[in-house]
Amino acid sequence: MTVPASPVLLRGGTVLDGTTADARAADVLVAAGRIVAVGTDLDLPAGTRTIDCGERLVLPGFVDAHSHAGSLVFDEAVQHALLRQGVTTVVTGQDGVGPAPGDGSYADRYFAAIDGPHPRYGGGGIGALLATYDGATPVNVATLVPAGTVRHEVIGDDDRPATPADLESMRALVRQGLAAGATGLATGLDYVPGLYADTAEITALCTEVAAADGLYVSHMRGGYERNARAGLDEIADIVRASGVRAHVSHLHAPVELAIAALAELAAAGAPMSFDAYPYSRGCTILSMLLLPAELARPGTGDLADAVADEAGRHRVRTAVLERVLGRADLGTGWADQITLSHVPAPEFHALQGRTLAEAAAATGTDPVDLAIDVLVDSALQVTVVMRVPRPRTADELTPLFRLPGHTAGSDGIFVGTHPHPRAYGTFARYLADHAVTGRLGWPETVRHLSTTSVGRYRLGDRGTVRPGAVADLVVVDPARVSARSSYEHPVRLAEGIDDVLVAGVPVLADGALTQATPGAGLRRDGSGTGGR
């Protein structure tokens, strides 16, 4: 728990307040969780603690608009990774999967390799989930209602349309989650059972979201890249039918295609925000990538049963090859483009960090057979990093990041010994590659990393450096800020952010955790424990 903090003065820094205003030299006085004053020659209360911010920037705390840290945020290593990037709030429940509603067992089975198990939630819904974070972590956690979990609670993993009775039960769960403080609804339309939901079902759920002024956040259907337009069109149909505000998860597509499609859809009455990260490679669960949906159901032995004899194994091998060879982003060199990130099966643990081609050669087998064996022995709980044929450069990505609807989301996964480096580096990389270099500039970058997300997710009085705002603040050294994580060394901490405050309490000081836990489960109006 965190004891009441004494006032804090951030002295001698350069303030970027989260608006279009230019940077200005100013002190920032914080007390009782909020910013009291921004200026010079401030009157200081007795007992004020001072942080020297000379030659550094004072910014609003960053919001990770697409995070998988919700169940792992109690882990000090994860806390350190987030805070060293300046992240003070994460938005979870992404891709349609999360602990609540229900008892958390579906998310634990299906997304254990992405989210990890939640150590403090055992049921009770969104309100109970948010309460697990109040005063228990150094960062804030907001959550979406995960539509896949909702469908699982009502229908299970069956591939069938929702009946009217099913749909009313699902709408009730969404209403309850929104009333308890969820920021909106998330779908994962490539995952089981989310991929079984049709447009009409999602539209019905989004009618509830629109009524609560929540945000519809979608991992789109049918892949991204050159297939992105089909997914965007479906979201646009849902927006026009339900009136919901919409947001696209981890938008990967040719930049020109994405910009043109978003502009066209906005002009047609379906504006969307989106999150993206400054890396070209992706990361997902291997079962979703390789297996037919009927063999990728969580918590079952479907795959093991399917390959139990030679004929069955041949059928599965054929299905896997048809899937990977049919993907434009993989193709014939697919086994060289997939790196094993997290493999819990002890006999395959040493293969983490190797491509499927390298791992197959090392074990004297074929990439497809190896993938099947790894999935069976790991109960499908395997994640992989995917390399694209031609990575996009920072210059190529800048026009996408410059769009006003862009927000920063790491899609960071902290499970495994060889995760995607985005978990440890996304926000530092944004600063180093786009703010420091001038590709975007500092005021614009701050809006994308903080202020825009606060507004879209309705996270309350934060995201700016002004009197009265919640004092979630980050101090950045522009001469040192850098992402040290890489595909070869993915768990290196970022540099250049050594001091962070959450609700006015220092949670990172001189680069080290202070052990203070002022974070909260943020409800949709931005309030948390103590009414922040």
Q: Is the bond preceding 101 in cis, omega lying within 30 degrees of 0?
A: yes
3-state secondary structure of 215: strand
What local confidence, expressed as pLDDT, does residue 480 receive? Answer: 98
CB-based contact 82:64 (threshold 8 Å) = yes
Q: Which residues lie across from 216 on neighbouring strands?
A: 185, 246
Q: How far is CA 358 from CA 167, 283, 328, 417, 501, in A?
A: 46, 18, 22, 17, 44
pLDDT tens digits for range 467-513: 999 999 999 999 999 999 999 999 999 999 999 999 999 999 999 99
Average pLDDT by consecutive 10-residue portion of the chain (532 residues)? 76 94 94 96 94 98 98 98 98 97 92 93 97 98 98 95 98 98 97 95 98 98 86 97 98 93 96 95 91 85 94 94 74 85 95 95 94 95 87 91 96 94 97 96 95 97 96 98 96 98 98 98 75 42
What local confidence, expressed as pLDDT, does residue 530 receive? Answer: 36
Handedness of CA 265, 270, 275, 281 (dihedral sign): negative
> What token pair was written down for 363?
């074990």
pLDDT tens digits for range 172-211: 999 999 999 999 999 999 999 999 999 999 999 999 999 9
* CA terminus-to-terminus distance, the chain: 16
Q: Which residues lie across from 91 on neighbouring strands?
A: 142
Contacts of 521 (CB under 8 A, 6+ apart): 129, 130, 131, 132, 133, 134, 140, 141, 142, 143, 181, 528, 529
What letter does residue 103 receive in the DSSP assignment? T
For residue 340, what is the enclosing H or E element?
strand 338-342
Residue with tokens 């004899």: 309
Residue at 195: amino acid letter: L
Give the whole-angstrom CA distance, residue 471 versus residue 499. Answer: 13
Give me the half-sphere count of Cα atoms (radius 13 Å) on the Cβ side of residue 351: 29
The closest of 313, 530, 404 to 518, measured between CA atoms, is: 530
For the chain, give every domain's residue range: 60-280+391-520, 284-386
Give the whole-angstrom CA distance, residue 65 versus residue 460. Answer: 15
> What token pair was written down for 327?
């993907």
Residue with tokens 């992405």: 114
Residue with tokens 């509830």: 208
Mind giving me the DSSP string for 468-480? TSB--EEEE-TTT
Q: Which residues lie across from 62 on neighbouring strands?
A: 87
What local confidence, expressed as pLDDT, does residue 377 receive? Answer: 95
CB-neighbour burial class of residue 381 (10 A; exposed 0-12, middle 13-18, buried 19+): buried
For residue 363, what is the enclosing H or E element?
helix 356-363
CB-based contact 425:485 (threshold 8 Å) = yes
Q: Is the bond preceding 138 in cis, omega lying within 30 degrees of 0?
A: no
Give the whole-angstrom CA distance, residue 208 versus residue 202. Answer: 10
Instruction: Please state which CATH number belongs to domain 60-280+391-520.
Output: 3.20.20.140
CB-based contact 315:380 (threshold 8 Å) = no
pTM of the model: 0.95
Give the whole-angstrom CA distance, residue 100 versus residue 143. Answer: 9
The closest of 142, 125, 131 to 67, measured between CA atoms, is: 142
What letter does residue 227 receive in the DSSP assignment? G
